[in-house]
Structure 1
Amino acid sequence: MRLIIFTILASICIFNSILAQSGSITGIVKDENNNHLMAATVLVLENNIGTTTDENGKYSINSIDEGTYTLRVSYLGYEPVEVTVDIISGKETQQDIALESADNTLQAVEIIGRRARTYKNAVSFAGTKTATLIKDIPQAISYVTKEIFADQQAYRIGDIVKNISGVNMFSGYDDFTFRGFRSGSSDSKMINGLRTVGIFGPQPILTNMERVEVIKGPASALFANTQPGGTMNYVTKKPLDESRKAISFTVGSFNTLRATADFTGRMNEDGSLLYRVNLGYEDGDSHRDLQKNKTFMIAPSVSFIPTKNTRINFDLVISQYKGKLDRGQPIFGATSGTDLTSTPPSFAIGEANDYHTNNVQYFTLSLNHQFSSRLSFNSSYMRFTWDEDLFEHRTSNSFALDSAGTQIPTLMGMQVINRVRKQVSDNLTNYLVYKVQTGKISHQWVAGLDYIQQTQPIGGGQSIARGYRKKDGNITTTYNPSDADNYVFENGLPVPNIPHFSLENPQYNVSYPHEYIFNVKQSYSPTKYYTFGAYLQGQLSIDRFKVLLALRQEFYRDVLNFKQPSEDKVKQEKLLPRLGLVYDITENINVYATYTESFQPQTSSILLNPELGGPFDPLSARMWEVGSKNELIQDRLSLNVALYRIEQNNILVNANDPSNPDLLQQRGQEVSKGIEIDVMGNILSNLSVTANYSYNDTRITESDNEEEIGRIKENAPFHQGGFWTKYTMNSGLLKGLGIGIGSNFVTNRVTFDTYTLGLKLPGYVVADAAVYYKVDRFNISVNFNNIFDKTHWTGGYSYTRLFPGAPRNYLLNVAYTF
């Protein structure tokens, strides 16, 4: 330890002595009205060294070799400025900059990347399908930028949802709760506003992400069939018209090893061709037994700007995840109480040679063409492909049975699943944007057509081995004690097809498919659904009022037995309105109100099966929301507050009919209501903060089963929130040293076993901290997560499947920019 401390101190002294031989540049950035601009970006183009201005508009860049350089200063809403400066060794060069307001600084679609390097993001393209200031959108939109990813050393989407109000983990998968409602597979997730395939299992990594946005509440008026609680939009990094290059290496707990690279800049002198390449690699274990992560990602992006009126962008992402599918922590059965630590939180069930491989490829092509100052055309297409190869030993979601059919709480029933499948999604969106001024009213109209298609091609299938063995060699789904004489027994217990797993004395072996009798074999029939919609949206502004009016007609088609002789099609249609109003109390304080609806069609496999009790109406939801959006400290800090009520109707549930166990019925209504608060940005130029809090109450309000009325929805806590702040010394002997601290909390949650067996997940508070040191182009950081080693559960289903959070751990990162 002494050697490490001595090495660090010696390195700092050496760096300081090197810096003393260079020159520096300092100055003040102002606007045309002589106002100081805080957090403007100042960059030396030749060596890519940069900084941001403080609350007085002042900047300072040290350790620049003698020579002539180009200084670029940029700030949202202002035209960037480039000036030539001469640096003299041992001297400080003074260079003040004045920026002029830009009439039109927002792209129509996000083809060129975001230059800002702060926690705050001002613009959303997904909230209205046009580049609109978030404060002018009459609906809550939360986000997390890549700067927060870096400061928290977040690598997966699950690492950063704690920064978003009203969002928490439902399980350990790519599976969340938005405002009390569970996210769906593919109808709550977008990439650049385009629909993905719903991947079950591994969470997306953040290597190529610029930010993650959550559009709160129904978003069907924008994106067709969506979940009522919210829609998550992943915004990928786009090329920049300035050179930035960075590499980083990370090691840490659980044998973690990561490497990333991010290169961007011009490919030709005039800047008409830009590029960006993101690379990511990870190899590590987990805080969960047996679990391993091995991922890689290659993500190139090219922007072509042949004229000032035409912009084209192409993104390609190739990624692979190799590991095991973590089915969660099982605990002793309900007959032994609800002790969540009856097994260690690290405890997992499986075999040593289980595997789960996921390959994801997607590419996006986007076009923006400006016909005139009033009319533009936008088009985007994305093809998303996912294939899965799975072999796993997992629970049967039940405990072993003795000869009398009674559960044995320390022995877990097991099954083996071998699965191969592929899914492909195609998205195409085309729309025109028309801007016009009529008297005092400014109009922006959007008219468009969307097409979404998802298919599962022929060739997929799965085999399942489970149940109990009978003397005649057959396998039954479960053990029937009234027919005990026909079952095989060993040590007084009915013999399962897959050996039971002991929770008291776990054994991990190497097992293969030929050892089991696969009594369930299923070939996946080709499937297809497609939906197309036409919409019209108007954004009108007069004095301090802004009005958003939108209407979308959706045509949904689900094909059963696709490409088979018995092919059949289900048609479902919906007219979706959206109405919002924004009022500017002051230049920096807005209040808003909104009403919007969503729908989710029932699948053809349900609607065309008469034994299930249909026909059924589509799921529908509507939301009322009011709130305030505030820009503070010279627009460097945002404070957003939202109050909402969401009603979801026509939820399908099992009818609990003994004569027809598959019979379904529609539950009347579920209601979510609450309040959310989000704060993010810079208090000072060297003090960044993100904070959030939400209160949510989501319950069943109407049901034919009176016992259900008033029940709280699963994994929907009443209270949750957190904060993260980073402070960096910008002068003195400790210049470049930074400290980060944060915490997040979640209150108690119910599970699927709460109202039958009494299982609840306890609330928790987790604290994190980090230390940073930046010198010249090097960044060194150490993050300490869960520093008080709090045992906690981020989500869970039942006694057989709980998802513990990570114990105390660390990550050490070294990064270099050039």
Structure 2
Amino acid sequence: MRLLLPLLLILTSIAYAQNSSLSGTITDENNVPIPGVNILLNGNQGTLTDFNGYYEFKNLQPASYNMEISFLGYEDQTEVINLSEGQNKVLNFTLETSNESLQEIEITGRKARSYKNELTYAATKTATPIKDVPQAISYVTKEVFADQQAYRVNDIVKNVSGVNMFSYYDDFTMRGFRSGDTYINGLRVVGLFGPQPLLANIERVEVIKGPSSAMFGNSIPGGVMNRVTKKPLADDRKSINFTLGSFNTLRTTADFTGSVNEKETLLYRLNLAYENSDSFRDLQEFKSYMIAPSISFLPTDKTRINFDLVITNFDGKLDRGQPIFGASAGTDLNSTPISFALNQTNDFQKSDVVYSTLSLNHKFSDNISFNTSYMKYLFEEDLVEHRTSNQFAIDGNGEQIPTLMGMQVIQRQRQFIADNLSSYFVFQANTGALDHKIVAGFDYIEQKQPRGGASAFARGYKLQGGGVSTNPADFQNFLLDENGNPVPNVPHFNLANPTYNLAQLSNYTFTQSPSPATRYYTYGLYVQDQIKFNKWQVLLGGRQEYYNDVVNVDQADEETTTQNKFLPRLGLVYSVTNAINLYGTYTQSFQPQGLAAQTNPNVGGPFDPVTAEMVEFGAKGEFFNKRLGANLAVYYIENNNILVNANEPGNPELLRQRGQEESKGFELDINGRILPNLTLTANYAYNEAIISESDNPDEIGIRKENAPLHQGGFFGKYTFIDGKIQGLGISLGSNFVSERNTFSSELQLPSYTIVDAGVSYKVDRFNISFLLNNVFDKTHWVGGYDYVRLFPGAPRNYLMSVGYSF
């Protein structure tokens, strides 16, 4: 009894001490409640405000708490709260609108933690609210990456309307047109053929829809994909994440950011990533790492400087896709399993990507600022691959054998270097009732392949007198085996009975092909004016673009071929309400023909550049107190002078200009929060992309390759914010793509619908997530060329991650 009484007193004291609470209301500067505000105590215990802006913490221990308050579009607040025993403390807060948009170049990071993004920098080269840009802009934020456990760019394009994968490479269809150049922070870099870019250092992926040459120079008509890297924050944030899953997946990422000094004039960020994983595809593997430091220097309130460095290494195999049995055996996509690949065991693709960016923003006054960014980008590749020769084996009569794939071997070493400079002034002025934001600038882009690159090819059939040939005219001289069939230089791959070996490259006859030094450079001068008058906004812009291809680089007979074009841009925005804008736009694109098409006499050129124009109308809105953003767009694109192979038997290099292609349709994108604890991203696209004019009547009206008529999807996450299951999150998503044509007229990729589901739990500073992709194990193809190269999607698989923030 002597011990029992003190023990009861201690337990009573503890129970009493846990009855402290903290509550209050959070409003904006107009005293309007803000729902969905994120509140953290000591960095680990959190809640969200309800629709009335009310928050509450119950059963708190008497102690000192560091209270952090954050919400998209508002300045963060931090308070130190002292709670005594049994105290029920009420604290109300007023949040001030964030001034993040003052930087004209994105030098310091985005503070928001939401599916919704407020601003775009690349679309107008100024910090402009997305709803004020007269052009459709879709995006996917890092918060979506995290909830979908996405690791590569290909993992997240399903969240963007009108964009779908063309292959496994960094290769997409946008509004029915195959993508071309790659952009990082609005600067053009070398497109990677093979390695899919990692997302560990990416803040968001933006797709600026339709022709964008007035901003970016030569580009495709479907749109421009821009990857925005993470920038330093003044807030101290650190996190590390470990992921494992199907196909022996092992990944880890880390993200550290904060201020180096007390004045917060020197900020840093460091992103790290590592992966060692297999694939559902035979012999495929992913080994990669990334080191990405970034520093922002803010010496005064007028000058901002940022430096990024990204080092990435890829080590795997180049996956050329799934081959199926030939046309004479039917069009059965399931004649080979989706895991089926043609590589040999000792194939490899090793790639190194290094790029650095230096950006400067300086305000001479409140009305004049100067902005410049320079990027150096280097890509090196070392490759050995067994792949198809894009045709089936032939027998002694010259007929195709649909179960034997013709093969070739490629060895390649090469390097590409890209330099990109963008410099411009921003002037703000008034003429009467008109507000002007004028941009005037200059862009320079150069890409080159230095001397020293080379390839070697082993392909074709052996000749009776020795040597090999790829020319069908030599059929009568092919060496025959005991069955009377031609003997290949590289053994055929048996689709019905595949075998994988350590290939002996010395057994093949190679043709050496040194790569000549290549270089192109392009530059443009542009002027743009964003004019505001009452509820109207007008965007007027024009760019003069000069594209230069250099032949015989660094030789005495070096010669430059120039193609140029003036590119206008016109847009109009009308604010129906403070939350809803209507817009219309007219833009053009310009894509020069390749160097070979202009200079090779066998090709049949020179040819006119590819040109396109677009008319687009739409509406943009913000709902649920600006927590949810939506974009609806209706468009028509006309593309001219497309080059295709002439299919001339006597000259396989001969090209022809197809005439005209059309793309028309509508798109819808939704991103943000419906409830304070329900986040959503959803999209739908109807796109009719067809060949509208051609000198081949059979082509007219045919839908373009890998251009689905319908596609869309959604992904949502609901998090419980109170009760015994506080911190538990449930996610559900689905995406669908309708049937698509390939380059083979008789082969079509079927439609598919995929469902993903997951659960997560956040406790203290830990977050545990489990995601099941392709829940119903649907066999599907995300893209494809023809019988010899199809690209199946992953079967049912899981990912499980554990993250810790500190």
Structure 2 gap ranges (5+): 1-13
Decide which moves more: 685-694 or 649-658. Answer: 649-658
The one of 17, 26, 29 aligned to 1:29:
26
User: 2:557 — aligned with what?
Assistant: 566
Deviation by residue 1:102-128 (Cα, 9 ceiling, x = unmatched)? 677432111111111110001111111
1:547 to 2:538 alignment: yes
Deviation string 1:122-164 (CA, Å, 9 cap, x unpaired) is 1111111110000000000000000000001011111100000
Structure 2 residue aligned with 1:695:
686
The one-letter amino acid of 1:510's match is L
Report the equivalent of 1:774: 762
Partner secondary structure for residue 298 of structure 2? strand
For the residues of structure 2 that align with 1:601 and 1:349, how far apart are their CA atoms?
35
- d(CA) in 2 for partners of 1:247, 1:615: 54
- Written as runs of structure 1 = structure 2, the 5 A alignment for 1:500-579 is 500-518=492-510, 520-579=511-570
Q: Which runs of 5+ in 1 are unaligned?
A: 1-16
- 2:162 is aligned to 166
SS at match of 1:566: coil
Structure 1 residue 671: Cα displacement: 0.5
Does the CA-based 8 Å contact 1:69-1:86 persist in structure 2? yes
TM-score using structure 1 length: 0.94
Counterpart for residue 82 of structure 2: 86
Residue 774 (structure 2) pairs with residue 786 (structure 1)? yes
Contact 2:677 2:718 (8 Å CA) reproduced: yes
2:335 match: secondary structure: coil
Q: 1:21 Cα deviation (Å)?
A: 6.3
Q: Distance in 2 between matches of 1:646 and 1:22?
A: 64
Is contact 1:468-1:479 (8 Å) kept? no
| Cα displacement string for residues 162-200 of structure 1 (whole angstroms, at most 9, x for unaligned residues) | 00000001111111000000112xx2x210000010110
User: Which of 458, 461, 470 is the equivalent residue of 1:477?
Assistant: 470
CA contact (8 A) 1:149 1:155 kept: yes
Equivalent residue, structure 2, for 1:8: none
Q: Write the distance in 1 (CA, Å) between the matches of 2:438 and 2:36.
A: 33
Contact 1:405 1:480 (8 Å CA) reproduced? no
Structure 2 CA distance, aligned partners of 1:750 and 1:94? 63
**1:654, CA displacement in angstroms?**
2.2
Find the counterpart in structure 1 of residue 35 from structure 2. 38
Letter in 2 for 1:344: P
Q: Structure 1 residues 218 and 399, CA, compared in 2 at 3 Å: closer, same or farther? A: same
Partner of 1:753: 744
| Offset at residue 38 of structure 1 (A) | 2.4
Aligned pairs (5 A) from 1:302-317: 302-317=295-310
Gap change, CA 1:393 and 1:584, over 3 Å in 2: same
Q: How does 1:333-412 map to 2 (within 5 A)?
A: 333-412=326-405
Q: Confirm whether residue 300 of structure 1 aligns to residue 293 of structure 2.
A: yes
Residue 8 (structure 2) aligns with: none
Aligned to 2:699: 708
Letter in 1 for 2:571: G
Aligned to 2:710: 719
Determine if the alignment matches structure 1 residue 263 to structure 2 residue 256: yes
Q: How does 1:478-497 map to 2 (within 5 A)?
A: 478=471, 483-484=476-477, 487-497=479-489
Whether contact under 8 Å (2:323, 2:790) holds in the other structure is: yes
1:285 to 272, 278, 290: 278
What whole-Å deviation, never above 9, does each CA across 1:582-630 have from its counterpart, x for those lacking one? 0001111110000000101112332122332222111111000000001
Q: Which amino acid aligns with 1:763?
A: S
Deviation sequence 1:774-795 (CA, Å, 0-9, x none): 1111100100000000000000
Deviations along 1:540-580, one digit per CA (max 9) or x if unpaired, are 00110000000001111110121122211101111000000
Write the distance in 2 (CA, Å) between the matches of 1:93 and 1:278.
39
Q: Rate the CA distance shift 1:370–1:407 in 2: closer, same or farther, 3 A.
A: same
Deviations 1:208-245 (CA, angstroms, capped at 9, x unpaired): 01000000001111111111001000000011110111
Structure 2 Cα separation of the partners of residues 53 and 105 of structure 1: 25
Q: Closer, same or farther in 2 for the Cα pair 1:357/1:93, shift >3 Å?
A: farther
2:452 match: 459
Q: TM-score, normalised by structure 2?
A: 0.95
Distance in 2 (alpha carbons) for counterparts of 1:768 and 1:311? 42
Q: Which residue of 2 aligns with 1:229?
A: 222
RMSD across aligned positions (CA): 2.0
Residue equivalent to 1:438 = 431
Residue 118 of structure 1, aligned match among 114, 120, 126: 114
Q: Letter of the aligned partner of 1:679 in structure 2?
A: I
- The one-letter amino acid of 1:765's match is T
Question: How far apart, in 1, do the equivalents of 2:165 and 2:662 lie?
Answer: 20
Aligned: 1:799 with 2:787: yes
Per-residue CA shift, 1:293-336, capped at 9, x if unaligned?
Answer: 00100001111100111111111000011111111111111001
1:252 aligns with 2:249: no
* Distance across 1 between alignment mates of 2:98 and 2:730: 36
Quickly say closer, same or farther: Cα 1:73–1:165, change in 2 above 3 A.
same
Alpha-carbon contact 2:101-2:119 (below 8 Å) kept: no
Match of 1:183 in 2: 179
CA distance in 2, matches of 1:64, 1:472: 90
Q: 2:612 aligns to what?
A: 621
CA drift of 1:516 comes to 1.1
Q: Deviations over 1:510-556 (max 9, x none)?
A: 013212110x2111111111111110000000110000000001111
Q: How much does 1:50 deviate?
A: 5.4
- In structure 2, relative to structure 1, the CA distance for the partners of 1:673 and 1:741 (3 Å cut) is same
Q: How has the CA–CA distance of structure 1 residues 52 and 377 changed in structure 2, closer, same or farther, with 3 Å as cutoff?
A: farther
Taking the aligned partners of 2:695 and 2:59, their CA distance within structure 1 comes to: 72
CA deviation after TM superposition for structure 1 residue 487, in Å: 1.9
Distance 1:42 1:377, change over 3 A: farther
Structure 1 residues 180 and 90: alpha-carbon distance in aligned structure 2, compared to 1, 3 A threshold: farther
The equivalent position to 2:597 in structure 1, one of 595, 606, 624, is 606
Q: How many pairs align?
A: 793
The structure-2 alpha-carbon separation of the partners of 1:479 and 1:447, relative to structure 1 and needing over 3 Å to count, comes to: closer
For the 8 Å contact 1:109–1:131, the answer to whether it is kept is yes
Identity across matched positions, percent? 58
Cα deviation for residue 433 of structure 1 reads 0.6
Matched, 1:204 2:194: no
Cα distance in 2 for residues equivalent to 1:374 and 1:35: 32
Task: Tell me the residue number matched to 2:576.
Answer: 585
Hey, what does 1:95 align to over in structure 2?
91
1:13 aligns with none
Deviation at 1:474, TM superposition (A): 1.1
**CA distance 1:25–1:426, change in 2 (3 Å):** farther
CA deviation after TM superposition for structure 1 residue 91, in Å = 5.5
The answer on 1:663 being equivalent to 2:659 is: no
CA distance in 2, matches of 1:529, 1:727: 50
Provide the rounded CA distance (Å) in 1 between the counterparts of 2:97 and 2:34.
12
1:102/1:121 CA distance change after superposition, 3 Å: closer
Equivalent residue of 2:125, what SS? coil
Closer/same/farther in 2, CA of residues 542 and 778 from structure 1, 3 Å limit: same
Aligned counterparts of 1:654 and 1:101: Cα–Cα separation in 2: 56
1:488 is paired with a residue of what secondary structure?
A: coil
| 1:92 CA drift (Å) | 5.4
Distance, in Å, in 1 between the alignment partners of 2:487 and 2:100 is: 73
CA drift at 1:478: 4.7
Q: For the structure 1 residues 230 and 206, does the alpha-carbon distance in structure 2 shift closer, same or farther, using more than 3 Å as the test?
A: same
Aligned amino acid, residue 336 of structure 1: A
The one-letter amino acid paired with 1:492 is: G
Q: Residues 217 and 547 from structure 1, CA distance in 2 versus in 1: closer, same or farther, beyond 3 angstroms?
A: same
Query: Distance between the aligned counterparts of 1:373 and 1:69, measured in 2?
Result: 40
Q: Which residue of 1 aligns with 2:6?
A: none
- Measured after TM superposition, the shift of residue 479 of structure 1 is 5.3
- Could you tell me whether the CA contact under 8 Å between 1:687 and 1:726 is conserved in 2? yes
